[in-house]
């Protein structure tokens, strides 16, 4: 991830075209730098706590209680939102919205920029979104907004986000919440 913000409104160049790919197991990605997971968690917490209208976008994998892990994650994400003073706007569906999305109440992977523009969101966490739709959305957000995007992914991560945490299950979310509390305390927020 070399650039943050508008890139001529085209998703190109994507991060992989600049030689940046998903981080290896056990590591995280901050822009184009592979870093330790804890370092990335601290930076993610700092950005979320200090950016205007910081928002969490929970996706279908944590919105529907289709297994025990999804339920656990959903509970932790609510706690995470409280710690980060973040709003929550769901991505509950991947179908394009016609004739018009209600940008105040939902985000959609086919035009995620509309929700970010409307709500003036400067930092956002994508979590529980299937990887392909997260990648499609993150490329558009990167091209068309100045929002700092964070992917908290249960699988391999997303190089088009500005910060990527991979293999994030409920135990890792609990660790992140703990770190976020520490950062919040350090920032005296």
Partner 1 sequence: MSKITDMTATKNWSGQTLVTADHMLFEAPRTKHFMTGSEVLKEAVKRCTVDASVSYPITPQSEAAHLIGELWAEGYVGMYFRGENEFGVMAEVAGCAMAGSRTITTTSGPGTLRAMENFPQWSGTRIPCQLILMARGINSPLTIQPDNLEVTFMLETGCMIWYAENVQELFDMSIAAFIVAEKPDVHVPIVTVVDGFFVSHTRESVMLPEDDIALFPYEPYKSPLPPIDSETPPGRFLRDPFVMKSNYISYATHASWQWEVRSAVERSRPYAEHFLGGLLHETGDLDAEIAFITCGTASHQAKEGQRELAKLGIKSKVIKLRTIRPFPTKELVKSLEGIKHAWVPEFNVVGWLEKEVKTALYGKSDTNIIGGPRVAGGMSLPAEAIIQEVMEVLNPGKGA
> What tokens were used for 150?
């964070």
Site residues (CB under 8 A) for partner 1, limited to 50-109: 60-61, 63-64, 66, 93-98, 109
Among 3, 4, 7, 11, binds partner 1 (CB under 8 A): 11
Residue number, 54 or 143, with CB nearest to partner 1: 143
β-strand pairing of 33-36 with 123-127: unpaired
Residue-wise DSSP of 146-166: --EEEEE-SSS--TTSSEEE-
The two three-digit tokens of residue 158, written as one number: 């997303």
Least distance to partner 1, CB of residue 120, Å = 20
Size of the site for partner 1 (CB under 8 A): 42
Candidates 4, 69, 110, 117; binder of partner 1 (CB under 8 A) is 110
Report the DSSP pairing between strands 87-88 and 55-58. parallel
**What whole-number distance in Å separates Cα of residue 163 and Cα of residue 157?**
9
Angle between helix 68-83 and 170-186 (nearest 10): 10
**Which of 5, 16, 88, 178 is the binder for partner 1 (CB under 8 A)?**
16
Q: Are 127 and 72 in contact (CB under 8 A)?
A: no
Q: Which of 48, 56, 113, 173 binds partner 1 (CB under 8 A)?
A: 113
Residues that bind partner 1 (CB under 8 A): 9-12, 14-17, 21-22, 24, 60-61, 63-64, 66, 93-98, 109-111, 113, 130-133, 135-137, 139-140, 143-144, 155-157, 159-160
């Amino acid at each position: 991830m070399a650039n943050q913000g508008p890139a001529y409104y085209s998703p190109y160049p994507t991060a992989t075209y600049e030689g940046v790919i998903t981080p290896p197991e056990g590591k995280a990605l901050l822009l184009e730098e592979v870093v330790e997971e804890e370092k990335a968690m601290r930076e993610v917490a700092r950005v979320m706590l200090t950016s205007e209208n910081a928002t969490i976008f929970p996706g279908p994998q944590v919105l529907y209680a289709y297994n025990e892990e999804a339920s656990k994650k959903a509970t932790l994400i609510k706690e995470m939102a409280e710690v980060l003073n973040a709003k929550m706007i769901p991505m509950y569906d991947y179908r394009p919205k016609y004739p018009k999305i209600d940008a105040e109440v939902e985000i959609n992977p086919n035009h995620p920029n509309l929700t970010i523009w409307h709500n003036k969101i400067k930092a956002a966490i994508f979590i529980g979104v299937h990887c392909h739709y997260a990648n499609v959305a993150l490329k558009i957000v990167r091209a068309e907004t100045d929002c700092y995007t964070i992917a908290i992914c249960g699988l391999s991560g997303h190089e088009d986000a500005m910060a990527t945490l991979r293999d994030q299950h409920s135990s890792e979310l609990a660790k992140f919440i703990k770190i976020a509390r520490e950062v919040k305390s350090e920032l005296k927020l």
